[in-house]
Amino acid sequence: MEAYGEFAEVYDLFMEEVPYGAWCDYLKQQLREHGVRDGLLLDLGCGTGTMTSLLAKAGYDMIGVDRSEEMLRQAYEKKQRDGQDILYLCQDMSAFELYGTVRGIVCVCDALNYILEEKQLLETFRLVNNYLDPGGLFLFDMNTPYKYSRILGDHVFAQNRQEGSYIWENHFDRESGINEYAVTFYVRQEEERYRRFEEIHYQRAYSPHRIRQLLSQAGLALEAVYDGYRKAPPRADSQRICFVARECTKKQEG
């Protein structure tokens, strides 16, 4: 069952508690501290384009890449509503192609955890390196093994609200590092009726140490690692880690 199919229509509804504004402030701060105050950015795994739109409003020229046509349809509607000039491309993260290089690449909401094979994650990092300007910045977050094993584990989560509800059955395989989300949604329609649909999502837990190794193999230098979207060192119980990496293999002009 393809992830982010019907769910795309209600993704923003069920994700409205994600602090995109605060995350965007963090990204802007990191970009500016590393000299990227304007220019072209790529939002990799952009989903419905919420972060893409926020960075466009901050003055960056934005490209969004996502493999889900349904998610990009929602992103395009936002673009049209807000009158923004954003280029959206339907491509897989581990095989994306751009027309040239960009000053920075961002990837939020644990999108990279959806890459289940190390070789594909390495290829994604290599593509990031290839499409970054010399010295370009790569900012991304990932869920931690701690979150998958201790917080999500083999638990059931549910949320009931006026617009709709969901039941989320989670299973984490510690040996493979694969996390499975089986989610059943009930979305309110007209006349008090509800539409029911299911989606299954898979993510993989990667240790920060392994991410550092893969970044190095791809030609990227890891400059900092933080506990979520704040400038504090990660802890043993960090649930989300943010990485700051830089392209370091190309010669800069001048």
Mean of all residue pLDDT scores within the chain: 93
User: Which has more pLDDT, 11 or 141?
Assistant: 141
Looking at the predicted structure, is the pLDDT value of residue 1 above 60?
A: no
Contacts of 146 (CB under 8 A, 6+ apart): 236, 237, 238, 239
- Of the pLDDT bands very low, low, confident and very high (cuts 50, 70, 90), residue 152 is very high
CA-nearest of 58, 94, 64, 95 to 77 is 64
CATH H-level superfamily of 6-143+207-247: Vaccinia Virus protein VP39 (3.40.50.150)
> What is the rounded average pLDDT of the residues 101-117?
98
SS (HEC) of 131-197: HEEEEEEEEEEEECHHHHHHHHCCCEEEEECCCEEEEEEEEEECCCCEEEEEEEEEEECHHHCEEEE
> What is the rounded average pLDDT of the residues 61-82?
95
Quote the pLDDT of residue 53: 97
Quote the pLDDT of residue 85: 95
Name the residue ranges covered by the structural domains of the chain.
6-143+207-247, 147-204
pLDDT, tens digit (0-9, with 9 covering 90-100), for 177-231: 999 999 998 988 877 788 898 999 999 999 999 999 999 999 999 999 999 999 9
**What order do you get walking across the sheet with 164-173 strand by strand?**
156-160, 164-173, 178-188, 194-204
CA-nearest of 39, 31, 38, 33 to 106 is 31
User: Which has more pLDDT, 215 or 8?
Assistant: 215
Query: What class, spelled out in words, does domain 147-204 have in CATH?
Result: mainly beta
> What is the rounded average pLDDT of the residues 52-72?
96
pTM summary value: 0.94
Quote the pLDDT of residue 2: 52
The percentage of the chain sitting over the pLDDT mark of 70, rounded to a whole number, equals: 96
The percentage of the chain sitting over the pLDDT mark of 90, rounded to a whole number, equals: 83
